[in-house]
């Protein structure tokens, strides 16, 4: 999973949320409000996904470190 994978998930989520939150007779103000809300939510989700991936990447390093100490 790389940056392109996270971006793809984020773009798809942005499309889904925009369709769900956009009122049928949306004004320009609605479009701006929904756009900001969706962007904030998707960016936050992307940072959480990246944080989890980074934390998981540290696990092998920790286990390698413990293996060296145990020898």
pLDDT at 42: 94
Whether the Cβ atoms of residue 35 and residue 18 lie closer than 8 Å to each other: yes
Domain housing 30: 3-70
Q: Which residues contact 43 (CB under 8 A, 6 or more apart)?
A: 10
Cα gap 53→55, rounded to integer Å: 5
Count of structural domains within the chain: 1
pLDDT at 71: 52
pLDDT at 69: 58
DSSP state of 26: -
Q: Over its length of 71 residues, how does the chain's per-residue pLDDT go in tens digits? A: 678 888 898 999 999 999 999 999 999 999 999 999 999 999 999 999 889 989 998 988 888 877 765 55
DSSP state of 25: T
């Amino acid at each position: 999973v790389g940056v392109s994978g996270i971006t793809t998930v984020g773009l798809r989520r942005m499309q889904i949320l925009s369709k769900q939150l956009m009122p049928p007779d949306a004004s320009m103000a609605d479009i701006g409000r929904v756009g900001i809300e969706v962007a904030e939510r998707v960016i936050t989700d992307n940072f959480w996904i990246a944080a989890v991936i980074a934390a998981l990447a540290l696990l092998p390093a920790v286990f390698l470190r413990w293996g060296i100490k145990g020898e």
